[in-house]
A and B are shown apart, each in its own frame.
Chain A
Amino acid sequence: MLKTLIRRELLDNLMTFRFAAVLLITLLLVVANTAVLIQDYEQRLESYNDAVKMHQQDLRNSKTYSTAHLFVDRAPNPLSIFNVGLDKRLGNLIGIYHGFMPTLWDAQMHGTDNPFIAFFSSIDIVFVFEVILSLMGLIFAYDAIAGERERGTLRLVLAQPIGRGQILLAKYISAMACLLVPLILSLLFALLLLTRSMPLSTADFLRIAGIVLTSFAYLSLFYLIGLLISVATRRTGTALMLAMFIWGLLILVYPNLIRATVNPGGDIQARVKTAHNQIQQILDEYERERQKFLEKEGIAEEMSEFSKALGFYHQADVDPVTLTTYIESISVLSEIRPDFEKYIPVAKRYYNFVEPLATRTVEKAWRIRKQALDEIYVKQATTDRILLKLSPVGIYDAATQAWAGTDLSGLRDFFDASRRYRKIIIDYLYAKDAFASREWFVADKGTVDWRTLPQFTFQRSDVGINAKRALPDLFLLLLINLIFFTIIFLIFVRSEV
């Protein structure tokens, strides 16, 4: 019996004009946007490759350790086509050196493109789904029960020996089967375009599968919202109006309304100020130890002479807004004048003392900065995201971002890797005894050999980790689905025809 019902519903749904229209428009929008997105991705990839090449060239041109330009670049994420998240917005270029802790708040853009283009909002596949799938779900559901009630066929169906739950289930299954067609078909087209222009790994396909699964849960939720309206109303006209207004509210209005009404909480200025003072103290302590060393070596008095000999440039500072802490001491000179040759042993000792000290100081400051950054930037963003999750769009967006690896954690993975790379570089410098070498500050007797320098590699996080980040939201979606279905069932069972 259930089978007969499903077949009837399926035929009813498939043969309608709305199905054809929805299918057509979904295909059109997804394919058109995918083509644009792929082009955009390729451009970003090209700009990334150029940047990597340029930075390698820069490094090879650096003759001494202290003037080395070591930069790492973040490659664009191919899955940003599905959900761009923070992939395009945050910086993708960061400097690596021992006197500085790289974070995403210090990153810059290597892109050479026109920043005014940021003026136009960019669209990804998930955004297309957000709008279209939700509308599809509601359009297919609003008259499912109310329509039959109006036409009087509901009475007929209920006269048969079938449970009311079965009727609901049949409607749900057949409608979902129908609605999946545009979703799957448009995704297939998108994948066809994707695989033609970029290689996707197995892991990427698994991530895409996760996105599809989440899209499915999202679609189902909107169908159930529509069904709930349909069960609860007497007339299709009313059901339709309610459905449309709820759609507008959830998709268009709420995500923008909530951000406009919520004030950034807490006194951020004060928090920045305390952290700034703490870091400044650490830097002051560093400066004192440096001065102590200079006095001990007996060059404190002839400092100007000493810095002239070394072409010395020294700076230790903390940014009052982003709390970026850096200690820089560079020797800008091509050769040592013969009468300054006497400073060489002192200079070697100086760098050998100061640079490890700078490394330690920055690491100490980092512990303070990390906490402060979390409180200043991350906490606010997390609250915003949680508030957004009151609309299914927020949950869907968060989950797909996690799958694609373009969410905040995914981006932070890269900067964690860059901090690990900094550690590796420091170890390498120690192993080479670079701080105490002549090549640290001058290249007149042999330049630095950069060929043995460890290379930076960054692998996007494992699918398992993506799944771990996405599953809570996915389960939340499924749970809401279940709750809605139960409510619909309860209302339908008690309703009079």
Chain B
Amino acid sequence: MIWHITRRELYDNLNSLRFALTTMLLLALMLTNAIGHLREHPKRMQKYNDAVSESMTRMASHTDDSLYKLAQEGPGKLYKKPSSLYFCAAGGDPVLPDTIEGGSPFGYSEHLRGVWKLKYPDANINMKRVGPDVTKLDWAFVIGYVLSLIALLFTFDAISGERERGTLRLMFANSVPRHIVLIGKFLGALISVSIPFTLAVLINLLLISTSNAVHLNTEAWGRLGIIFLIALLYMCLFLALGLLVSARAQRSAVSLVILLLIWITVVVFMPSTLASIASEFSPPMSSEPFWKRRNQIQEELWQKYSRWVWSGKVDKETLTGKSEFFIQDAEAEERLNQERLTEKVAQVQHARAITRISPATLLQHLLESFAGTGFERHLQFVENTHRYARQFREFVADTDRSDPESLHIIGVREGMTKKKILPEAVPKFEDTLSLSKDFNTRATELLLLVLFVMVLLSGSYLAFVRVEV
């Protein structure tokens, strides 16, 4: 019986104007998305590869010099690897910095330089662009905005329309249980929206995967599968919402007005407005106190170590004093940098947590995570650099320790090994992504989305069961 009703709904929908318009719209959007990605992605990869190789060359020139130089200059700039699934969700990646600097030793004078530390560049707002603002045309946009609206347009009259036409009375006169009718209608709408969407997605992926410019590996395909399922889940949410309102409203025009207003509030306005409200709280340390603290720490260290720092002697005590000063100074600054970053991140995280009330934000977060872009990805990158920084420091210490002639005083030329080091021996920075980790961090949001769908579905069931014709 369910199939009977579903089939009827399906035939109704497939012949309608909205189906034709939906197909055209989704195809146009997904085609543009694929073409844009094919055009931009090679450039992005090129830029990344160039930057990484330049960083490598610089590091190699340091290894040629000595271990001391390496310990002083550090690994140089570390770059975030662009995701090959950028077209799924750009996720503010143009705003987020794509590099973290592991270098920039503080120069006290020409012959006296400290050791490297991690430095986090700020988000790069492009202040030079004077053009109009636009949203990136990615899957997140197509699914989040367009598909959700389409789902509402397919369901707003599913029940109220039948009531208006009087066919609802006819259907209830048959011996079909009401929940079967509801499920049939739901499935009918789901299938009829899925057809154009799947078609558009397939054509999009066909274009992207057959081109030589972008290479998708097995993991990327797995991620795409998850993203597709999330999109279907998100679509279900709006279909259920549409059925719920449609069952309650007497006329389909009223039902549509209610749905549109809900959609506008939840999808268009809630994410930004709530984020603005939430970000008023917990502002991070501003730059002035930051520099004050930085200077204070430096001053203290300075007082403690200054008699060794400026001394030209090369005895063990002086060298140890110098080394301790450099290392502690770098550590203090790195700690302070990290603290400031943590505060900034906390502010954004607060805002992000609150906006999760809106399913559109949930979708955005989920898509970003599985596409390997966006804020969470950036945090992962930061974590990767931390791990690498430890690895790098250990490498320097180990290499130095393996030379019995060295004094094992890191950070000063006279105290470190003078042996040659091979550039290949230095650990390389590998920016990795792991799917299982993404799943774990996103589990709450995934569950929240499922919860929304369940609530709305049961809500529409209750509304429909009690409906009077």
Contacts and interface: CB of A to CB of B under 8 A. Distances in A.
Contact of B279 (A120, A244, A256): A120
A320 interface: no
Interface in B63-92: 92
A469 B351 CA distance: 37
A39 interface: yes
B25 A408 contact: no
Contacts of B383: none
Given A25-B264, A120-B351, A122-B272, A397 B132 contact: yes
Contacts of B32: 257, 260-261
Contacts of B18: 241, 245
B184 to A, nearest CB: 21
B348 A260 contact: no
B29 interface: yes
B17 A242 contact: yes
Contact of A119 (B123, B145, B254, B284): B123
A123 B276 CA distance: 9
B447 interface: no
A256 B96 contact: no
A28 to B, nearest CB: 8
A132 B351 contact: no
B137 A36 contact: no
Contacts, number: 174
Interface stretch (A110-118, A306-314, A484-492): A110-118
Contacts of B145: 252
A120 B25 contact: no
B280 A131 contact: no
B332 to A, nearest CB: 22
| Range, interface on chain A | 35 or more
The CB with the most chain A CB atoms within 10 A, among B130, B145, B276, is that of: B130
A52 interface: no
A118 B283 contact: no
Interface stretch (B193-201, B215-223, B234-242, B255-263): B255-263
A94 to B, nearest CB: 11
A322 interface: yes
B137 A385 contact: no
A418 B279 CA distance: 33
Interface string A108-142: 11001111111111110000100110010001000
Nearest to A388: B132
Contact of B134 (A32, A131, A255): A255
A29 interface: yes
B127 A40 contact: no
B132 A260 contact: no
A353 B122 CA distance: 41
A25 B264 CA distance: 9
Contact of A256 (B35, B141, B271, B351): B141
B269 interface: yes
Looking at A113, A117, A397, A411, which has the most chain B CB atoms within 10 Å of its CB? A117
A36 B130 contact: no
A335 to B, nearest CB: 22
Interface string B89-133: 000100110000000000000000000000000111101111111
A388 B127 CA distance: 21
Contact of A253 (B25, B130, B258, B280): B25
Interface string A351-394: 00000000000000000000000000110110011001000001
A409 B327 CA distance: 51
A240 B254 CA distance: 12
B132 A143 contact: no
B344 A385 contact: no
A21 B256 CA distance: 11
A131 B266 CA distance: 13
A388 B133 CA distance: 11
Count chain B CB atoms within 10 A of each CB in A90, A119, A259 and give the residue with the most: A119
Contacts of A29: 264-265, 269, 273
Contact of B257 (A22, A39, A236, A397): A22
Interface of A: 17-18, 21-22, 25, 28-29, 32-33, 36, 39-40, 86, 89-91, 104-105, 107-109, 112-123, 128, 131-132, 135, 139, 143, 236-238, 240-242, 244-245, 248-249, 252-253, 255-257, 259-261, 322, 377-378, 380-381, 384-385, 388, 394, 397, 408, 411
Given A119-B95, A248-B25, 13 more contacts: A29-B265, A33-B269, A90-B127, A116-B375, A120-B276, A128-B269, A132-B264, A237-B157, A240-B253, A260-B134, A261-B32, A394-B132, A408-B130
Interface of B: 16-18, 21, 25, 28-29, 32-33, 35-36, 92, 95-96, 122-125, 127-137, 141, 145-146, 149, 153, 157, 253-254, 256-258, 260-261, 264-265, 268-269, 271-273, 275-277, 279-280, 283-284, 286-288, 344-345, 347-348, 351, 375
